[in-house]
Structure 1
Amino acid sequence: MPRTPTVPTYRLHAPSGQAVVTVRTPEGGRRDVYLGTYNTPVSRQEYARIVAELATAPAGVCLAAPVAGRTVNELLLPFWEHVERHYRRADDTPTNEVTEYRVLIRDLRALYGHTLAREFGPLALKALRGRWLDAGLARTYINQRVGRVRRLFKWAAGEELVPFAVYQSLTAVSGLQKGRTTARETEPVGPVAEEHVRATLPFVRPAVRAMAEVQLLTGMRPGELVQLRPCDLDTSGDVWVFRPEQHKNAHRGKARAVPIGPRARAILERFAPADPTDYYFSPRRVVAALHAERRKVRGTPLYRSHAARYAAQRTAAPKRAAGRRYTTHSYGVAVSRAVRKANERRERLAGPGNFDPVAHWHPNQIRHAHGTEVRRLYGLEAAQVALGHARADVTELYAERNLTLAAKVAAEIG
């Protein structure tokens, strides 16, 4: 006899306050279906509908999701779980998209959380876009957010959480066009003058100074630089080659190779960790070196009682531990603080209004400066390969020639 399908349990999803039931899918897996606010007539009605459907469906499979009464809030919960699973790098760390969707979900909940998901249409999307316009966001960034809203509802339609027509209607909303909107335009990222970089470096820690110098010599992206480890380097030749596991186009199946010339090598050798799987630039080692330096100039010996008291203080008021490696954010913050300190010093020495300020810059501009210099010395093709801008459809022979040319550039100026 065929086994009688088990009736799923109506239960509370504590973090959201929603009623939830777990059903089997036609593919043999399981899916959580959110029914609405826990212990309300609407959620009980949806539960009864699912139980009735299970009684007639083959092998106890729930074939349809309750899309009729689902609100946007009820849609966002399973979507957020999808975001946390999907947007991950090879080492299982979340990508920047997780942060972007977190902010997007906050705005969606504020404006349309209690709106029926099937009723979220073009006018609602335009109202959401208007909120971002009023907040002063840039035109290109607003268009990116609108695209994320569309992807949210496309995913929901694929999961049968909303009718496909809902997603289809959102595609009718055009992106904001340059010159035809009040949204501000962003300035293109340009190169930073090397003199401004050099003026900033005395105000950063040695590790951050080395990071900026290596970036000037190699043109790495900040995200590539912060993950640099000895185990990721091919050191068999005069020019080392760094192949980052994570980079901008890794999810597209593209490879990235960064040649490292003798000047950059000399810098890296000064910061080489004992463990080849550790990072060249580590805040943890920076903090340890700082403490060691302070102990050297300490006037009184570090007695056992002192060490015990310091340990008790750390336990009572723990501080966030330094990380194993810098992030692009912490690298950028260190640069911004250094620029401010450099200008404060110039102002003290010359007086307000009587000095040439150091221009504010961020690490991505170093990469542009490197590309500009390579192009000036070696031409456009050399700049493209040095920065890793090769097209995806080039032949393997052309890719090999690119690496050879990039290595030549690194050997001479890197």
Structure 2
Amino acid sequence: MPAILEALVRVHWWLGGRPEDLVSMRPGDLDRTEDVWRYVPDTHKNEHREQELEYWIGPKAQAILVPLLEGKSATELVFVYPGVGDDPPTPIQRAVYGNRVKDVCRRAGVKPWTPRPLRHSRATEVMRIYESNSAAAAVIGDSEEVARTIYVDPQSAVRKRIARETG
């Protein structure tokens, strides 16, 4: 179980998505025809706004996903705990994902956290690198306004660059 959880956390980081978008990933939702894959969740939070959500999957996340996709049909979930004994495989659900991460943290003796902030961290990291609201928004699949007001402090990266270059 820890290996699949680790894979999910790592892919979650690289995609910057919502936990529910990651745990609902199926091979049929992935377009793997180009060097950067495209993931369009079947359902998502903003579909009622007729807003398409897409995530782009680069080589680091692809390397994690390839073994998980082997032998799966288009409709099977990617992130599934393997069956043990007579027990069938169990899909990782959003709430279970967060609880498992907290449990692993407690066992490791580190402060527990939940997967949701990975989205914030990824947007902040992209903002730090590219100093762009649109880049942060693009990586997490949200609007520039949402990325700017909820997920990152765009001024932080700009202030650091100004200090580096002028101060």
Shorter-chain TM-score tier: 0.7 to 0.9
Match of 1:363 in 2: 115
1:223 counterpart = 2:17: no
Match of 1:406 in 2: none
Q: Secondary structure at the match of 2:69?
A: coil
User: Residue deviations 1:259-302, cap 9 Å, x none?
Assistant: 0000100100011142222111112xx224xx4xxxxxxxxxxx
> For residues 67 and 119 of structure 2, what CA distance do their matches in structure 1 show?
22
The amino acid of 1:280's aligned partner reads V
> For residues 385 and 281 of structure 1, what CA distance do their matches in structure 2 show?
24
> For residues 372 and 383 of structure 1, what CA distance do their matches in structure 2 show?
7
Q: Which runs of 5+ in 1 are unaligned?
A: 1-203, 292-310, 312-318, 344-357, 393-414
Instruction: Tell me the matched-pair count.
Output: 143
Q: Residues 234 and 242 of structure 1 are in contact (CA less than 8 Å); yes or no, is this contact kept in structure 2?
A: yes
User: Residue deviations 1:9-30, cap 9 Å, x none?
Assistant: xxxxxxxxxxxxxxxxxxxxxx
Q: Alignment partner for residue 340 of structure 1, among 100, 106, 120?
A: 106
Match of 2:53 in 1: 256
Q: Residues 4 and 79 of structure 2 are in contact (CA less than 8 Å); yes or no, is this contact kept in structure 1?
A: yes
State TM-score, norm by structure 2.
0.79
The amino acid of 2:56's aligned partner reads P
Match of 1:278 in 2: 76
Q: Which runs of 5+ in 2 are unaligned?
A: 146-167
Give the 5 Å matches for 1:169-184: none
User: Residue deviations 1:214-269, cap 9 Å, x none?
Assistant: 01111011000001111111111110000001111012211001000001001000
Q: Residues 273 and 279 of structure 1 are in contact (CA less than 8 Å); yes or no, is this contact kept in structure 2?
A: no
> For residues 230 and 328 of structure 1, what CA distance do their matches in structure 2 show?
18
> For residues 391 and 245 of structure 1, what CA distance do their matches in structure 2 show?
23
> For residues 390 and 367 of structure 1, what CA distance do their matches in structure 2 show?
14
Match of 1:35 in 2: none
State TM-score, norm by structure 1.
0.33
Match of 1:390 in 2: 143
Match of 1:378 in 2: 130
The amino acid of 1:282's aligned partner reads V
Percent identity of the aligned residues?
A: 34
* Structure of greater Rg: 1
Greater relative CO (CA pairs within 8 A, separation 6+)? 2
Q: Secondary structure at the match of 2:83?
A: helix
Match of 2:37 in 1: 240
The amino acid of 2:137's aligned partner reads Q
> For residues 59 and 113 of structure 2, what CA distance do their matches in structure 1 show?
26
Q: Residues 240 and 259 of structure 1 are in contact (CA less than 8 Å); yes or no, is this contact kept in structure 2?
A: yes
**Structure 1 residue ranges (4+ consecutive) displaced by more than 2 angstroms after TM superposition:** none
> For residues 230 and 365 of structure 1, what CA distance do their matches in structure 2 show?
25
> For residues 390 and 372 of structure 1, what CA distance do their matches in structure 2 show?
14
Q: Secondary structure at the match of 1:363?
A: coil
Match of 1:352 in 2: none
Q: Residues 273 and 280 of structure 1 are in contact (CA less than 8 Å); yes or no, is this contact kept in structure 2?
A: no
